[in-house]
């Protein structure tokens, strides 16, 4: 048996890689009393890819664990293809059972899933726990290729592999074998997923002093150079100064000590530097402006007032300051030309580019009020800044802060339509939430709070209703509002034995007394023999029912004369003096 398993699992590791396995994804399928119900899918790049096996090897284990426990129904099982939805009515909790599969969510599917080497792992799973299958023999659940349509990725590129119900966090690592449309077999091992996603705040910049590898969301706490550089910030320098809806912003590097000096801002292929705007018109660059702030002469502002709001880069120097800024860029780059045309500034080649100052030559790279100016940008959009900074500490040792990022302006999001009932004057970006009052005066309402019957002739007329909701009713013939007349139905024929004086509508139920005086009767209660000569004459009978009978010759009522039969011949040896009727039995000696 062990040899068979080894051969079966070894077959899973061979094949010609043709199709592309994309990964794993999860979604919330339902909420249940036993926890959130998730469904997990293997995803592919082609709708014709077919998943044929999920397996474990000693060198590539199958790991399924949870921080709490899995819900396992008492009548469930480890494979979804064995779950019969016909039992959900009798066992409603069965619908939320946890199981594995290849494509089919229940027994109505097309996947005939088999398993080998999974017994111990499934036993742990069915007990509500996780498992780590990493034995020499391994294990797998699988199906025969080209048989199940459920195992084919289809238009959404997904194949269902599990339903998991839990209130905890799930971690899964699995190995997959699949075929492409030409039956070329491929394998992908060590594919992992964790769900639900739990955000962990912290520093996500790998070059920072306090980088947290567990963090999934950057909380702005990153520091560099022993805590000297604490991040980026921005100010609004001018609001719509050109009357075009564009605002002017200034970007800064923030420091915790004045005893530092920024010496360069740079970018390469591995550490890109970019300034981008999502505005259609990009960045404003004045016709008489400059690439660098220190090169802009404020004496020209009177003649060229828009020049003050030109977009530019710098290290500390602004218009009118002494500037020792230098620059060097890869000749293949069009970054500055693109920027001067209003486009995005991107430095991402091997040679890259930078702006820099000679260390100690002047004080423009030294923080003022804890900040060093890095640029001015005029745009109507959201700016995305990604920069790398070289600076010297008090000991004049160079420090590097790479991958610093900031998006600005950090604006309020909400309804920007002043005619809407939920208009937010603080919102800058519209999130599509704008609503109008309904007829009832409810913001975003559906008129249901003041709906009712507005027809004054209706029996359920609502004088307070503003919007007719189609609920108007009329009295039926019985005077019941919205009734069907059934409450006043009955027999309206006064000659009938079941006449109902309260009935308004005749329902066809009227009856008459039979000859016996029974209402609706069939005369059976007063039937009998009315012939006074009959031996069973019934003086109380009103109707003759044909039952009359008479005495026979023996005087027996309804008899056949046999009770007084015998030999009436006095000469016979068997003469019977009591016999009235001769029965032909006479004998002679």
For residue 144 the two structure tokens come to 């025969």
Report strand pairing: 35-44 vs 158-166: antiparallel
Mean pLDDT over 532-541 rounds to 86
Q: What are phi and psi of 566, to 5 degrees?
A: 170, -165
Q: Is the pLDDT at 61 greater than 90, yes or no?
A: yes
Asked if 134 contacts 64 with a C-beta cutoff of 8 angstroms, the reply is no
**What pLDDT band is residue 503 in, cutting at 50, 70 and 90?**
confident
- What pLDDT is recorded for position 427? 75
The whole-angstrom separation of Cα 546 and Cα 569 is 39
First to last CA, the chain: 107
Q: What is the mean pLDDT of the chain?
A: 90
pLDDT at res. 568 = 85
Domain extents for the chain?
A: 21-195, 217-408, 557-588
Closest CA to 162 of 134, 187, 181, 141: 141
Residue 212 is encoded by which pair of tokens?
Answer: 């947290």
Q: Which of 161-170, 239-248, 428-437 has the lowest mean pLDDT?
A: 428-437
Tell me which of 39-43, 102-106, 428-432, 549-553 is least confident: 428-432
Flag whether pLDDT at 272 surpasses 70.
Answer: yes
**Separation CA 51–CA 172 (nearest Å):** 17
Residue 477 confidence class, pLDDT cut points 50, 70, 90: confident
pLDDT at 12: 43
- Which of 249-263, 392-406, 545-559 is least confident? 545-559
pLDDT for res 35: 95
497 near 514, Cβ under 8 Å?
Answer: no
11 pLDDT above the threshold of 90: no
DSSP string, 374-387: EEEEEESS-EEEEE
The SS3 call for residue 519 is strand
HSE-up of residue 94 (Cα within 13 Å, Cβ side): 20
| The two structure tokens encoding residue 586 | 């006479």
Task: Calculate the CA 344 to chain-centre distance.
Answer: 38
Which of 151-165, 284-298, 329-343, 414-428 is predicted least confidently? 414-428
**Measuring CA to CA, how many Å separate 158 from each of 19, 65, 105, 150, 164?**
14, 23, 13, 10, 17
The CA-atom distances, in angstroms, between 479 and each of 461, 486, 493, 569 are: 15, 11, 21, 90
Tens digit of each residue's pLDDT (9 = 90 or more) over 223-234 = 999 999 999 999
pLDDT of residue 19: 55
Q: Select from 536, 542, 249, 471 the least CA-distant residue to 373.
A: 249
388-392, 430-434, 463-467: range with lowest mean pLDDT: 430-434
pLDDT band at 545 (very low <50, low <70, confident <90, very high): confident
* Distance, C-alpha 449 to centroid of its chain: 29
In the predicted structure, residue 520 carries a pLDDT above the cut 70: yes
Using CA atoms, how far apart are residues 473 and 455, in angstroms rounded to an integer? 9
More confident residue, 388 or 483: 388
Q: What are phi and psi of 120, to 5 degrees?
A: -65, -40
List strand residue ranges (DSSP E) for 79-228, in order: 99-100, 114-116, 131-133, 139-142, 158-166, 170-179, 185-195, 201-202, 217-218
- Does residue 540 register a pLDDT over 90? no
pLDDT at 329 over 90: yes
pLDDT band at 551 (very low <50, low <70, confident <90, very high): confident
For the cut 60, the answer to whether the pLDDT of residue 46 exceeds it is yes
Q: What is the pLDDT of residue 296?
A: 96
| Of 408, 376, 371, 377, nearest in space to 391 by CA | 371
Please tell me the predicted confidence (pLDDT) of residue 413. 66
Residue 412: beta bridge partners?
427
Q: What is the pLDDT of residues 174-214, one digit of tens each?
A: 999 999 999 999 999 999 999 998 778 899 998 899 999 98
CB 196 within 8 A of CB 188: no
Note the pLDDT of residue 5: 35
* pLDDT (0 to 100) of residue 584: 84
d(CA 575, CA 545): 42
Pairing of β 261-267 and β 353-356: antiparallel
Query: Residue 99 pLDDT more than 90?
Result: yes
Nearest Cα to Cα of residue 197 among 176, 171, 173:
171
Task: At 301, list the tokens.
Answer: 């502002």
Quickly tell me which residue has 């981008």 as its tokens: 276
Q: What is the pLDDT of residue 6?
A: 33
**What's the pLDDT at 1?**
30
- The pLDDT of residue 501 is 87
Strands in 312-313's sheet, in edge-to-edge order, are 229-238, 247-255, 371-379, 312-313
Residue 191 near residue 172 (C-beta atoms within 8 A): no
pLDDT over threshold 80, residue 432: no
At residue 374, the pLDDT reads: 98
Q: What's residue 429's pLDDT?
A: 67
C-alpha neighbours within 13 Å on the C-beta side of residue 335: 27
Dihedral, 40, 45, 47, 48 alpha carbons, nearest 10:
-110
Select from 585, 551, 555, 547 the least CA-distant residue to 569. 585
Is the pLDDT at 3 greater than 70? The verdict is no
Mean pLDDT of 83-89: 94
């Amino acid at each position: 048996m062990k040899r068979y398993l080894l051969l079966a699992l070894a077959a899973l590791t061979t094949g010609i890689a043709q199709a592309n396995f994309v990964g794993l994804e999860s979604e919330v399928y339902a909420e249940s009393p036993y926890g959130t119900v998730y469904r997990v899918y293997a995803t592919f790049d082609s709708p014709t890819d077919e998943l044929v096996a999920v397996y474990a090897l000693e060198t590539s284990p199958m790991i399924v664990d949870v921080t709490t426990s899995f819900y396992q129904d008492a009548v469930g099982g480890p494979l979804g293809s064995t779950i019969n939805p016909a039992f959900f009515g009798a066992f409603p909790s069965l619908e939320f059972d946890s199981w594995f599969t290849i494509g089919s969510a229940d027994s109505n599917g097309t996947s005939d899933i088999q398993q080998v080497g999974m017994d111990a792992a499934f036993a742990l799973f069915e007990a509500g726990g996780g498992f780590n299958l990493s034995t020499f023999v391994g294990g797998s659940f699988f199906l025969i290729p080209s048989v199940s349509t459920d195992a084919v990725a289809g238009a959404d590129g997904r194949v269902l592999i599990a339903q998991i119900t839990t209130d905890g966090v799930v971690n899964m690592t699995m190995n997959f074998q699949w075929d492409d449309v030409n039956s070329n077999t491929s394998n992908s091992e060590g594919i992992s997923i964790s769900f639900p996603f739990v955000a962990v705040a912290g520093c996500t910049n790998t070059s920072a002093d306090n980088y947290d590898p567990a963090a999934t969301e950057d909380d702005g706490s990153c520091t560099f150079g022993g805590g000297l550089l604490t991040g980026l910030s921005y100010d609004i320098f001018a609001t719509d100064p050109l009357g075009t809806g564009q605002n002017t912003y200034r970007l800064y590097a923030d420091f915790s000590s004045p005893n530092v000096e920024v010496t360069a801002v740079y970018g390469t292929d591995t550490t890109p530097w970019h300034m981008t705007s999502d505005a259609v018109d990009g960045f404003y660059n004045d016709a008489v402006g400059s690439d660098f702030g220190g090169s802009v002469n404020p004496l020209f502002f009177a003649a060229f007032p828009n020049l003050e709001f030109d977009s530019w880069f710098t290290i500390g120097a602004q218009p009118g300051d002494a500037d020792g800024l230098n620059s060097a860029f890869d000749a293949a780059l069009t970054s500055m030309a693109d920027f001067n045309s209003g486009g995005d500034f991107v430095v991402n080649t091997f040679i890259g580019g930078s702006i820099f100052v000679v260390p100690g030559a002047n004080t423009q790279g030294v923080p003022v009020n804890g900040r060093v100016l890095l640029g001015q940008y005029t745009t109507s959009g959201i700016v995305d800044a990604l920069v790398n900074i070289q600076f010297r500490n008090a000991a004049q040792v160079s420090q590097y802060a790479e991958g610093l990022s900031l998006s600005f302006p950090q604006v309020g999001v909400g309804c920007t339509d002043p005619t809407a009932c939920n208009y937010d004057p603080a919102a800058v970006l519209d999130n599509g939430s704008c609503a109008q009052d309904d007829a009832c005066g409810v913001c975003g309402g559906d008129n249901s709070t003041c709906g009712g019957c507005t027809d004054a002739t209706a029996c359920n007329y609502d004088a307070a209703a503003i919007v007719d909701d189609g609920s108007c009713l009329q009295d039926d013939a019985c005077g019941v509002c919205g009734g069907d007349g059934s409450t006043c139905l009955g027999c309206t024929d006064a000659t009938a034995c079941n006449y109902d004086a309260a009935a308004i509508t005749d329902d066809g139920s009227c009856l008459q007394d039979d000859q016996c005086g029974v209402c609706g009767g069939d005369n059976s209660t007063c039937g009998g023999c009315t012939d006074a000569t009959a031996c069973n004459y019934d003086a109380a009978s009103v109707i003759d029912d044909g039952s009359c009978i008479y005495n026979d010759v023996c005087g027996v009522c309804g008899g056949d004369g046999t009770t007084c039969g015998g030999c009436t011949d006095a000469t016979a040896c068997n003469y019977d003096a009591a016999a009235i009727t001769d029965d032909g039995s006479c004998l002679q000696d």
